[in-house]
Amino acid sequence: MIRIALTKGRIEKKAVEILARAGYDISELEDKGRKLVFRLGEADIEVVLAKAADVITYIEHGVCDVGIVGEDTIMEHGKHFHELLDLNFGKCKFALAGIKGRDFYEGYTHKIIASKYPNVTKNYFNSKGIDVEIVKIEGSVELAPILGLSDAIVDIVETGSTLKENGLEVYEDVAYISTRLIVNTASIKLKKREIDELVSRISAEIE
Ligand code: PRP
């Protein structure tokens, strides 16, 4: 048996579509109610729905074999697993953004950056050799510069409409991201045949 940890929400819908195209029976996932564990019909595969950061925890602890998760979460939480496929959906970017029309680098004062992704933010500014103060925010990070808490944010930009509707703009692109298929380091050897089959069926359906 192999167990897939699937990020619930935006990624889930597209991932379930790919599983269906790859020939798996996704009927339990279509009518899921509040259930969290599902079988893919007769295939010896179980799917669990989890929050993105927890997908990584389950893979790293070996209680799930295969994970489907955004590269944003991978960049924030580390990489003690194999990354096998770029699923080529959920494409967006990390960007440094702030109040429209301002020069982020103006002046000599220490900058404050708000983000849901403190590690991504720290790594980005370290790579530029700039020391910043990072404030962790849990959601709607766009509020931080509007309220005057921070000089800028590091956040995900997909369509750009959240920034635009709040008077903000991208100052710099930080990294392009997409959804990835990851595998536990032991499972890749111990369940090679099952994982190879799943990966080849999924990779044939990547757009
Ligand atoms: C994400 C992200 C931005 C928004 C970007 O937030 O943090 O706020 O989507 O999308 P856009 O460029 O298409 O407008 P999410 O909707 O996940 O909510 P959250 O801020 O509450 O985490």
Give tens-digit pLDDT for 49-89: 999 999 999 999 999 999 999 999 999 998 899 999 999 99
Q: Which pLDDT does position 78 carry in this prediction?
A: 81
Confidence of residue 109 (pLDDT cuts 50, 70, 90): confident
SS3 state of residue 82: strand
Q: Is 161 in the pocket of ligand 1 (CB under 6 A)?
A: yes
What is the residue with the minimal CA distance to atom 2 of ligand 1?
156
SS3 state of residue 172: strand
Confidence of residue 108 (pLDDT cuts 50, 70, 90): confident
Q: Is 160 in the pocket of ligand 1 (CB under 6 A)?
A: yes
pTM as predicted? 0.94
Q: Which pLDDT does position 188 carry in this prediction?
A: 96
Q: Which pLDDT does position 23 carry in this prediction?
A: 96
Q: Is 156 in the pocket of ligand 1 (CB under 6 A)?
A: yes
Cα(58) to centroid(ligand 1), Å: 25
Q: Which atom of ligand 1 is nearest to the CA of 163?
A: 14
Cα(160) to centroid(ligand 1), Å: 9
Confidence of residue 90 (pLDDT cuts 50, 70, 90): very high
Residue 167 tokens read as 């008077």
Q: Is 138 in the pocket of ligand 1 (CB under 6 A)?
A: no
What is the residue with the minimal CA distance to atom 19 of ligand 1?
139
Share of the chain above pLDDT 90, in %: 95
Cα(129) to centroid(ligand 1), Å: 28
Average pLDDT of the segment spanning 186-203: 97
Q: Which pLDDT does position 98 carry in this prediction?
A: 98
For the chain, strand residue ranges (E) read 2-7, 37-39, 45-50, 66-70, 82-86, 92-99, 111-115, 132-136, 152-157, 168-177, 179-183
DSSP 100-151: TT--TT-SSSPEEEEES-HHHHHHHHHHTT--EEEEE--S-TTHHHHHTS-S
Does the pLDDT at position 107 exceed 90? Answer: no
Q: Which atom of ligand 1 is nearest to the CA of 155?
A: 7
Q: Is 173 in the pocket of ligand 1 (CB under 6 A)?
A: no
